[in-house]
Amino acid sequence: MYYKNVEETAKDLGMPQSQVLKYIYEGRIKAVFDGEEFLINSGQFDTYYEQLERIKEEIEVWRNTPIPDDMDVKDED
Protein backbone atom coordinates (compact mmCIF):
# COMPACT_ATOMS: atom_id res chain seq x y z
CA MET A 1 0.00 0.00 0.00
CA TYR A 2 1.41 3.34 -1.04
CA TYR A 3 0.07 6.66 0.23
CA LYS A 4 0.35 10.01 -1.52
CA ASN A 5 -0.47 13.49 -0.33
CA VAL A 6 -2.97 15.81 -2.02
CA GLU A 7 -0.33 17.50 -4.20
CA GLU A 8 1.01 14.20 -5.57
CA THR A 9 -2.48 12.83 -6.14
CA ALA A 10 -3.57 15.97 -7.98
CA LYS A 11 -0.56 15.75 -10.25
CA ASP A 12 -1.18 12.05 -10.97
CA LEU A 13 -4.87 12.64 -11.73
CA GLY A 14 -4.23 15.82 -13.72
CA MET A 15 -6.55 18.00 -11.69
CA PRO A 16 -6.14 20.93 -9.29
CA GLN A 17 -5.42 20.26 -5.64
CA SER A 18 -8.65 22.07 -4.74
CA GLN A 19 -10.61 19.49 -6.77
CA VAL A 20 -8.88 16.60 -4.98
CA LEU A 21 -9.72 18.19 -1.60
CA LYS A 22 -13.33 18.68 -2.71
CA TYR A 23 -13.55 15.00 -3.67
CA ILE A 24 -12.06 14.01 -0.30
CA TYR A 25 -14.66 16.07 1.58
CA GLU A 26 -17.44 14.64 -0.60
CA GLY A 27 -16.20 11.10 0.06
CA ARG A 28 -15.43 10.42 -3.61
CA ILE A 29 -11.73 9.98 -2.76
CA LYS A 30 -10.92 8.04 0.38
CA ALA A 31 -8.21 9.59 2.54
CA VAL A 32 -6.93 9.66 6.09
CA PHE A 33 -5.81 12.75 7.96
CA ASP A 34 -2.60 12.23 9.93
CA GLY A 35 -2.89 15.48 11.88
CA GLU A 36 -0.98 17.50 9.29
CA GLU A 37 -2.18 16.45 5.86
CA PHE A 38 -4.47 14.08 4.01
CA LEU A 39 -2.90 10.82 2.87
CA ILE A 40 -4.51 9.02 -0.04
CA ASN A 41 -4.07 5.33 -0.81
CA SER A 42 -3.03 5.35 -4.45
CA GLY A 43 -4.34 1.81 -4.93
CA GLN A 44 -7.91 3.09 -5.08
CA PHE A 45 -7.15 4.58 -8.52
CA ASP A 46 -5.92 1.34 -10.14
CA THR A 47 -9.26 0.69 -11.84
CA TYR A 48 -9.42 4.32 -12.98
CA TYR A 49 -5.99 4.07 -14.62
CA GLU A 50 -6.87 0.74 -16.26
CA GLN A 51 -10.08 2.16 -17.72
CA LEU A 52 -8.28 5.31 -18.86
CA GLU A 53 -5.68 3.26 -20.74
CA ARG A 54 -8.38 1.09 -22.33
CA ILE A 55 -10.29 4.17 -23.50
CA LYS A 56 -7.10 5.72 -24.92
CA GLU A 57 -6.45 2.52 -26.89
CA GLU A 58 -10.04 2.45 -28.21
CA ILE A 59 -9.80 6.09 -29.32
CA GLU A 60 -6.50 5.40 -31.07
CA VAL A 61 -8.02 2.44 -32.93
CA TRP A 62 -11.01 4.59 -33.92
CA ARG A 63 -8.76 7.42 -35.15
CA ASN A 64 -6.67 5.02 -37.23
CA THR A 65 -9.62 3.23 -38.82
CA PRO A 66 -9.96 4.48 -42.39
CA ILE A 67 -13.27 5.70 -43.73
CA PRO A 68 -14.55 3.29 -46.39
CA ASP A 69 -14.23 4.58 -49.96
CA ASP A 70 -17.60 3.20 -51.03
CA MET A 71 -20.00 5.24 -48.98
CA ASP A 72 -23.61 4.31 -49.72
CA VAL A 73 -24.77 7.90 -49.73
CA LYS A 74 -27.00 9.26 -52.46
CA ASP A 75 -26.72 12.83 -53.60
CA GLU A 76 -30.17 14.41 -53.44
CA ASP A 77 -29.29 17.36 -55.69
Evaluate whether residue 43 is within a structural domain. Answer: yes
pLDDT in tens, 3-36: 999 999 999 889 999 999 999 999 999 999 999 9
What are the strands of the beta sheet with 32-33, ordered from one edge? 3-4, 38-41, 32-33
Gap between the Cα atoms of 64 and 3, Å rounded: 38
**pLDDT of amino acid 46:** 84
Evaluate whether residue 51 is within a structural domain. Answer: yes
Buried b (16+ CB within 10 A) or exposed e, 8-47: ebbeebeeeeeebbebbeeeebebeeeeeebbbeeeebee
Using 50, 70 and 90 to split pLDDT, how confident is the model at 68? confident
Evaluate whether residue 71 is within a structural domain. Answer: no
**Residue 60 belongs to what domain range?**
3-64
Evaluate whether residue 41 is within a structural domain. Answer: yes
User: Residue 67 has what DSSP assignment?
Assistant: P
**pLDDT of amino acid 72:** 66
pLDDT of residue 75 exceeding 70:
no
Evaluate whether residue 69 is within a structural domain. Answer: no
pLDDT in tens, 33-66: 999 999 999 888 888 888 889 999 999 999 999 8
Domain count, the chain: 1
Evaluate whether residue 77 is within a structural domain. Answer: no
**pLDDT of amino acid 42:** 87
